[in-house]
């Protein structure tokens, strides 16, 4: 049936719902089919992931280290290497049927009225892995299970008569293959003295009053071992070398008719099968690395260094929550974000607020929209990695970058409100029995 312009004009003059119905009845549903398939796919995946997530158990560990800690962030870099053992890379059937997800770890620093604590949120089945990795680098550390502090605010909704909140997620200022400033760049080139970047973060946290809290969270998810391959394409592009890219499906479909026509032309001319032998192999041009300006050469070396190490998908969140009479957004927000910006570089990468996931909105109806955003920020923080969009776990940072963003401070960092162990742990005596004594059994030292 052809298109009737007069009929369409008559329908358009009526209410929009009649117009939509007319559109769908005359074949418009075809345009909505891809959207409907996408919605159904997402709903299915979220349903299966919800079932899988309900079977998992999580725990929060508080980690205290000695006041005399002399370990640099290099120890934490090794710690994160151990964490990569969680990587399982679920197959398609596990992902779409069982709802299986990659496991994540939440690295957190919190300040409750100035009292500072290092915390780790993880699946309980990886507790031995995490504790073993920590003790391997910090034998005198103390690890204890504590309650999930974020769950205390589960019932609080905004607008609220008692509390107010500021915060959200950060995003990268450049492509993920460009590195941020790492802890190595905080070492003085002459004296070798290490200016701990964690000092500024902890100093801000120590300034919180009893009615204020500050939360700093880094959720990491192990990336595949080949995560750096697109980064090498970026390196080739920066140095001016050509690289053969794998064609996408739609590009191959477009090229197929042309390739068939070309093949018939070669058959007719008698050159088919010979041209490939006579044509010389395509060579990649010589690298222009020696002719690069110093700034660009530094960027290329930094990108190569980043993609050479283990990577984690990363999401960083900041939350400042306080009672309304003590809420000081102007001072606290600038200080917290300023402490993170010390890892930014203008020529490579850094952090900035994610406008879609921060407690700041633009346009009309600001008050109701910002309250919705505040509730989402609190839920995202509380859920850690359990409400990720399907297939997205955040940009990738390598273990060296993460070690600068989250590590235990050196003994030179003087923050009295930071929880640390009071004394070194003594070694057990060599005569300590290996099994408890039971009545009726000979003592351990009498066993033959």
Least confident window among 18-22, 37-41, 236-240, 383-387: 18-22
Region for residue 27 given its phi and psi (left: phi exceeds 0; alpha: psi -120 to 50; beta: otherwise) = left
Q: Retrieve residue 344's tokens.
A: 């930014």
Predicted confidence (pLDDT) per residue in 345-361, tens digit:
988 899 999 998 999 88
Cα dist. 288→238, 282, 319 in Å?
Answer: 9, 18, 46
Q: What are the sequence ranges of the domains in the chain? A: 5-44, 57-223+310-405
Least confident window among 96-100, 131-135, 177-181, 263-267: 263-267
The CATH fold of domain 57-223+310-405: Vanillyl-alcohol Oxidase; Chain A, domain 3 (3.40.462)
Region 331-349: what's the mean pLDDT? Answer: 90
Whether the per-residue pLDDT at 27 is higher than 90: the answer is no
- Can the peptide bond before residue 159 be classed as cis, meaning omega within 30 degrees of 0? yes
> Rounded CA gap, 156 and 169, in Å?
20
Query: pTM score, two decimals?
Result: 0.77
* CB of 211 closer than 8 Å to CB of 323: yes
> Rounded CA gap, 369 and 376, in Å?
11
Whether the per-residue pLDDT at 436 is higher than 50: the answer is no
Higher pLDDT residue, 193 or 59?
A: 59
Higher pLDDT residue, 213 or 36?
A: 213
């Amino acid at each position: 049936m052809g298109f009737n312009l007069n009929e369409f004009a008559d329908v358009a003059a009526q209410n929009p719902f009649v117009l939509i119905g007319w559109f769908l009845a005359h074949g418009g549903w075809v345009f909505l089919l891809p959207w409907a398939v996408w919605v159904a796919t997402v709903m299915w995946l979220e349903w299966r992931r919800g079932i899988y997530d309900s079977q998992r158990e999580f725990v929060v560990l508080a980690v205290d280290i000695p006041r005399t800690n002399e370990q640099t962030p290099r120890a934490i870099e090794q710690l994160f290497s151990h964490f990569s053992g969680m990587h399982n890379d679920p197959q398609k059937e596990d992902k779409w049927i069982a709802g299986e997800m990659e496991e994540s770890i939440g690295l957190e620093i919190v300040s409750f009225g100035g009292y500072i604590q290092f915390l780790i949120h993880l699946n309980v089945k990886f507790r031995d892995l995490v504790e073993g990795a920590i003790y391997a680098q910090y034998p005198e550390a103390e690890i204890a299970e504590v309650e999930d502090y974020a769950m205390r605010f589960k019932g609080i909704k905004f607008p609220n008569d008692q509390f107010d909140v500021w915060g959200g997620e950060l995003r990268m200022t450049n492509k993920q293959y460009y590195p941020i400033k790492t802890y190595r760049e905080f070492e003085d080139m002459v004296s070798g003295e290490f200016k701990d970047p964690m000092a500024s973060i902890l100093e801000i946290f120590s300034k919180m009053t009893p009615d204020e809290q500050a939360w700093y969270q880094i959720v990491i998810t192990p990336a595949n071992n080949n995560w750096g391959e697109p980064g090498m394409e970026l390196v080739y592009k920066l140095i001016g070398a050509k690289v053969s890219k794998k064609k996408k499906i739609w590009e191959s479909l477009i090229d197929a008719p042309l390739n068939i026509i070309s093949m018939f032309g070669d058959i007719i001319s008698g050159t088919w099968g010979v041209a490939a032998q006579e044509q010389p192999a395509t060579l990649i041009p010589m690298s222009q690395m020696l002719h690069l300006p110093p700034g660009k050469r530094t960027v290329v070396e930094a990108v190569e260094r980043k993609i050479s190490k283990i990577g984690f998908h990363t999401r960083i969140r900041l939350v400042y929550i306080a009672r309304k009479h003590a809420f000081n957004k102007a001072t606290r927000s600038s200080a917290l974000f300023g402490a993170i910006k010390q890892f930014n570089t203008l020529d490579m990468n850094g952090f900035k607020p994610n406008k879609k996931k921060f407690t700041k909105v633009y346009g009309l109806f600001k008050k109701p929209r910002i309250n919705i955003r505040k509730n989402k920020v609190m839920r995202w923080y509380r859920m850690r990695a359990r409400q990720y969009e399907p297939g997205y776990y955040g940009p990738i940072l390598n273990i060296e970058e993460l070690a600068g963003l989250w590590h235990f401070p050196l003994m030179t960092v003087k923050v009295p409100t930071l929880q640390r162990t009071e004394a070194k742990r003594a070694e057990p005596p060599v005569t300590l029995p290996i099994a408890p004594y039971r009545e009726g059994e000979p003592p351990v030292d009498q066993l033959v």
